[in-house]
Chains A and B, each alone.
Chain A
Amino acid sequence: MSGDLVFYGFALLTVLSGFFVVASRNVVHAAFSLLFTLFGVAGLYAQLGADFLAVTQTVVYIGGILVLVIFAVMMTRIPRGDAPRRGLDRAVPAAILALLVFALIYMVIVGTRWPERAAGAPEATVAEIGTGLMTTFVFPFEYASLVLLAAMVGAAILIRERAPADDAADADDAAGEGEVRS
């Protein structure tokens, strides 16, 4: 079946590029591998009939988060020779733990009888998602906007450059407060 081939193609793309994200020593290479991983996941969403999520994944993850990550990589360049080394002392236990967790999840996946329903043909989900967001999920929807606003303000405050004059003014303020209190 051609649909199965498409699934295996996207699954292979996702897992292989995900492996490069983890294995690459160069952070820039890892960031670009992440692009293909996220794209592969978007393809899997499309295969599952989640058309809205496939587009959202492409726009938000690839267009937003990945650009942010690449900017962060470029702004935190470490001079050569100071590159963080990865010792085997940490890699081996971590690999064993990750493999054990994967084996556990895989055993659960294979061992459980999932109550699968007869898979119908996927249809457009955008209208249903919109209705759901405005009825059942309206509180989390509004709350998400609050979280985004808080994240935006928080990121802006964290990243703010402090000018020397600003520091002097703060020191004056602190001195003034001290006088008022004493």
Chain B
Amino acid sequence: MTVGLEHYLTVSALLFGLGLYAVLTRRNAVALLMGVELILNAANLNFVAFARFVDGGVEGHIVAAFVIVLAAAEAAVALAIVLAMFRNFGTVNVDTVNRLKR
């Protein structure tokens, strides 16, 4: 069986499931963000696979590029928040940090 759309979508679904599991179970804020990156990559893989096998244009590629841009912005702000959290609370455990102010 030649590799087609379903194969790429299956890989993407697997990545999404792994990312979801990481977001649900991780207590370290940095590891939790890694799960978010996995989910974003799964979504991007779907965009590119559909662009190749269904649409045939490059619109899917452009949307995937925007997702990469937003992921970079999200990572910068989120990791800044994690560092501020570590400075104020001395931990990056998302269960113990439940206040906005010290």
Q: How far is the CB of B15 from chain A (nearest CB, A)?
A: 6
Closest to A49 in B: B52
A interface, how many residues as a size bin?
35 or more
Q: How far is the CB of A33 from chain B (nearest CB, A)?
A: 9
Interface code A58-92, partner B: CB below 8 Å = 1, 0 otherwise?
A: 00110011001101110110100010101000110
B residues less than 8 Å from A133 (CB atoms): 62
B interface, how many residues as a size bin?
35 or more
**CB contact under 8 A between A99 and B17, given known A41-B44, A69-B34, A117-B53:** yes
**CB contact under 8 A between A60 and B72, given known A94-B25, A128-B58:** yes
Interface code A90-120, partner B: CB below 8 Å = 1, 0 otherwise?
A: 1101110111011001100110001111011
Q: How far is the CB of A158 from chain B (nearest CB, A)?
A: 4
Q: Judge whether A7 and B16 touch: CB under 8 Å.
A: no
A residues less than 8 Å from B95 (CB atoms): 84
Closest to A104 in B: B13
A residues less than 8 Å from B59 (CB atoms): 132, 136
* A1 interfacial by beta-carbon distance below 8 Å: yes
Q: Judge whether B58 and A76 touch: CB under 8 Å.
A: no
8 A-B residue contacts at CB 8 Å?
A22-B18, A52-B61, A53-B61, A94-B24, A117-B54, A132-B58, A148-B73, A155-B79
